[in-house]
């Protein structure tokens, strides 16, 4: 990487405070002088939504949240925003909920205050996604970047441990892929390395004590760094693979990222040795060629995380087709050249949950 780069930092306020969500949301509503708040939160996000809105008036609520934002849901939510006369969108929930608020903002320009309850990180990016006829379209637009993010670790305590683990690994994937994604720069890489450190420590703490806030705070901090790095660096090989798998075969987002990550790291690492060594050190392991994968797998072992794509729901007989779908979207600057046979080998190993180091050159 040359030391000549062009970095854009997206502008948003972050209010971080455990137990302070109601106070921080009320402060934002006052700052925006908002009179008609449209709350976006799924039924399953009732409890965090109730806590986030304890000190404000809500004009209406949209609970019509579905994974990957189907266009029909987006249309209905946009109509509801108009009927409500909304002047502020308050999203409380995971990446799917933030995604629906973004869909409303994309056409209305309404500001979003985002209160994340998972580690997906959508709150810190200007990327939107919509799904129609099983095809997901994404794009970047600063109108969808939440104006403010309010983090409160207590809201993530209700996230089951298994989902906390896969969601945290989704954030780890943002960090790892940011080390070699198309627009990566030294600022993204610094954020990504610190994100890995925070997420690894947070995941371990949550695994040991799911009811403790310490690990949850570290994970939210790490998830934010991960998303900021990812928003600037763009989608690398890992995200391109997961995007294709999620869109074409309707796989669960976080579990898919969790399964694929060790294989992309093992595939790219030997061709991106500086990045691999920094990743290894961030995992607390030896800074050598194999340290990154070893550090990630040791974490998976501790957490009981699965890196078998078959367990995420991928059928074995679509592997060849999936490799063909990924090939045209492989980033041109990927550290290691990628052939269709490489992708088939990667997906086959990941499907079976085989030792990722078998992908070494």
Q: Which stretches of the chain bind ligand NAD, using CB under 6 A?
A: 42, 44-45, 48, 67-68, 93-97, 99, 117-118, 120-122, 125, 127, 129, 155-156, 158-159, 163, 167, 170, 253-254
Nearer to ligand NAD, 42 or 203 (CB): 42
How many Cβ atoms from other residues are within 10 Å of residue 315's Cβ?
A: 12
Q: Please report how close the Cβ of residue 101 comes to ligand NAD at its closest, in angstroms.
A: 11
Nearer to ligand NAD, 164 or 334 (CB): 164
Is residue 85 left, alpha or beta, with left meaning phi > 0 and alpha meaning psi from -120 to 50?
A: left
Distances (CA, A) of 49 to 99, 125, 155, 305, 316: 16, 22, 9, 29, 39
Nearer to ligand NAD, 91 or 189 (CB): 91
Dihedral angle computed from the Cα positions of residues 306, 326, 143 and 21, in that order, rounded to the nearest 10 degrees: 0
Q: Please report how close the Cβ of residue 116 comes to ligand NAD at its closest, in angstroms.
A: 8
Q: Please report how close the Cβ of residue 281 comes to ligand NAD at its closest, in angstroms.
A: 26
Task: Give me the sign of the Cα torsion angle 71, 99, 254, 243.
Answer: positive
Q: Please report how close the Cβ of residue 42 comes to ligand NAD at its closest, in angstroms.
A: 4
Nearer to ligand NAD, 96 or 348 (CB): 96
| CA 136 from centre of chain | 16
Burial, 109: exposed, middle or buried (Cβ in 10 Å; 0-12, 13-18, 19+)?
exposed
Nearer to ligand NAD, 227 or 359 (CB): 227
Q: Please report how close the Cβ of residue 19 comes to ligand NAD at its closest, in angstroms.
A: 15
Instruction: Give the tokens for residue 153.
Output: 């670790």
């Amino acid at each position: 990487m040359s030391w000549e780069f062009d970095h854009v930092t997206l502008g948003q306020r972050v209010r971080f405070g455990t137990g302070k969500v109601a106070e921080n949301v009320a402060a934002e509503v006052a700052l925006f002088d908002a009179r008609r708040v449209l709350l976006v939160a799924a039924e399953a996000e009732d409890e965090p939504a109730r806590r986030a809105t304890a000190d404000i008036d809500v004009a209406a609520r949209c609970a019509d949240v579905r994974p990957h934002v189907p266009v029909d849901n987006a249309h209905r939510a946009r109509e509801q925003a108009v009927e409500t006369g909304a002047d502020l969108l308050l999203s409380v929930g995971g990446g799917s909920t933030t995604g629906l608020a973004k869909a409303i903002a994309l056409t209305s320009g309404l500001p979003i205050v985002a209160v994340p309850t998972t580690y997906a990180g959508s709150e810190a990016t200007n990327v939107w996604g919509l799904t129609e006829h099983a095809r997901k379209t994404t794009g970047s637009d600063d109108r969808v970047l939440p104006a403010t993010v309010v983090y409160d670790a207590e809201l993530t305590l209700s996230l089951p441990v298994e989902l906390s683990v896969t969601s945290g690994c989704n954030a780890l994937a943002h960090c790892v892929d940011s080390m070699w994604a198309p627009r990566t720069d030294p600022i993204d890489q610094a954020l990504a390395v610190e994100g890995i450190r925070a997420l690894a420590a947070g995941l371990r703490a949550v695994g040991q004590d799911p009811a403790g806030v310490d690990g949850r705070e570290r994970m939210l901090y790490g998830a934010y760094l991960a998303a900021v790095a990812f928003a600037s660096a763009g989608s690398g090989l890992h995200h391109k693979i997961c995007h294709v798998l999620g869109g074409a075969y309707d796989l669960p987002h976080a579990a898919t990222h969790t399964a694929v990550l060790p294989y992309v790291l093992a595939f790219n690492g030997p061709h991106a040795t500086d990045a691999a060594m920094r990743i290894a050190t961030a995992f607390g392991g030896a800074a050598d060629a194999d340290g990154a994968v070893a550090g990630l797998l040791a974490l998976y072992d501790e957490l009981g995380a699965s890196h078998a794509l078959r367990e995420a729901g991928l059928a074995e007989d679509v592997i060849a087709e999936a490799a063909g779908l990924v090939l045209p979207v492989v980033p041109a600057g990927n550290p290691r050249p990628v052939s269709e046979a490489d992708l088939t080998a990667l997906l086959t190993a990941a499907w079976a949950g085989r030792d990722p180091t078998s992908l070494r050159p």
